Amino acid sequence: MKSTYRTVYGRIENVEFRDLPMPEPKANELLIKIKASSVNRTDEGGLLGKPYIFRFFVGWPKPRYVATGTDFSGVLVQKGEEVEDFEIGDELYGFLDTGLGTHAEYCCIAMDKPIFKKPKNISHEQAAASLEGAHYAYYFLERVNLKPGDKVMVNGGTGAIGNAAIQMLLARNVNVTFTYPTDSYEKIRDLKTEKKIDYLKEEFTLQDTLFDFVFDAVGKSSFGACKRILKEGGIYISSELGPKGENIPLSILGLFSKGKRVVFPLPGNPKNSIAYVKSLLEEGKFVPLIDRVLPLENFTEGFQYMLTGQKRGSVVLVMES
Ligand SMILES: NC(=O)c1ccc[n+]([C@@H]2O[C@H](COP(=O)([O-])OP(=O)(O)OC[C@H]3O[C@@H](n4cnc5c(N)ncnc54)[C@H](OP(=O)(O)O)[C@@H]3O)[C@@H](O)[C@H]2O)c1
């Protein structure tokens, strides 16, 4: 079977595309014929092994999996004798931020990993694109108590996290304003939000509106800049550490404040986020934004594009059937 292949952390240009022996599932494992997998920002950490602390989770001193990839949508083709929850032929999908080695035609995954039956109303490409960004969006939003009608500002509505967050917020009847780059208007036009701001033409932190929550989904702004558009008691969350790594210390100070404050959430178990997002997918309340779909052998191109930080939603790799 074809697979991405590396034994050390480093540049995508050093990852090979190899023919590997067909994997054999152990007693507690499922053998999945992968149909689609995304190339995402979590794969960046698993590829480079950076920040170095990440290596404690993805493999030390070398990557745990020779194949890159954290998510998948595919078909169960063989299973170990202990696997009871799933049957051969089931369409399954899943995600694990510490890696699964899914940029390959087949993959063995232990049954205790976050694996779900794929919603019937979506394709494998859509399923793969519904996982990574939505997982983080779920955990970032979980730390804020929002009521219908509250006002939320999302910076970065074309990112995988930001776009998923907007749709989750709309599902909760929250009033959303968000930013997007000029050339992506077509991709976000149909989102029924209060306001859409072209960030190349207007600075969102200079609005007159006050928000209950500012979510900097691309981590390009700061608490200092967003303070003026936060209501008293409003919350700022960023997907990044912030200029000079300030968001963690600010979030500690925020524990002692009832005023405008920073919260820095750590993502939890994907079983919770996938279960929630799956219900949204089945109700038609979440449509994953897909930037482009590439064949597996073009994984280098997919990674190079993802690493520019310019993807709109997800880059998806598809495996030949
Ligand atoms: N904390 C965590 O656990 C965690 C986990 C995963 C990812 N992350 C981080 O979260 C961030 C977002 O990841 P993602 O996958 O959602 O992003 P992404 O898919 O890589 O895309 C970012 C999008 O935002 C747009 N953008 C760039 N600068 C912008 C700005 N100043 N204002 C508005 N839009 C802008 C980009 O388009 P243009 O460049 O064309 O404008 C692009 O469409 C990344 O920095 C990633 O490293 C954090």
Mutation choice for ligand 1 from 38, 97, 161, CB with most ligand atoms inside 8 A: 161
Which of 155, 218, 312 to mutate to test ligand 1, by most ligand atoms within 8 A of the CB atom?
218
Is 179 a pocket residue for ligand 1 (Cβ < 6 Å)?
Answer: yes
> Taking the CB of residue 193, how many other CB atoms lie within 10 A of it?
18
- Counting ligand 1 atoms within 8 A of each CB, the residue from 96, 158, 203, 215 with the most, and so the one to mutate, is 158
What is the rounded CA–CA span in Å between residue 192 and residue 148? Answer: 15
Q: CA 306, CA 290: separation in Å to the nearest integer?
A: 12
User: Does domain 2-130+288-318 bear CATH number 1.10.357.10?
Assistant: no
End-to-end CA distance of the chain: 12
Low-confidence ranges of the chain (pLDDT < 50): none
Q: What is the CATH code of the structural domain delimited by 133-262?
A: 3.40.50.720
Question: Is the pTM for the entire model greater than 0.95?
Answer: yes
Before 249, cis peptide (omega within 30)?
no
Residue 172 pLDDT? 97
pLDDT reported for residue 321: 61
Helix (H, G, I), strand (E, B) or coil at 275: helix
Q: Residue 28: CA atoms inside 13 Å, Cβ hemisphere, count? A: 4
308: CA distance to ligand 1 center in Å?
A: 10
Segments making up each domain of the chain, as ranges: 2-130+288-318, 133-262
pLDDT of res. 104? 98
d(CA 285, CA 171): 6
DSSP 37-51: EEE-HHHHHHHHT-S
The strand pairing partners of 198, in sequence order, are 180
Q: Give CA–CA dist 280/49, Å, rounded.
A: 33
Compute how many other C-beta atoms are within 10 angstroms of the C-beta atom of residue 290.
Answer: 22
State the Cα–Cα distance between residues 204 and 197, nearest whole angstrom: 7
Is 215 near ligand 1, meaning CB less than 6 Å away? no
Amino acid at 249: P
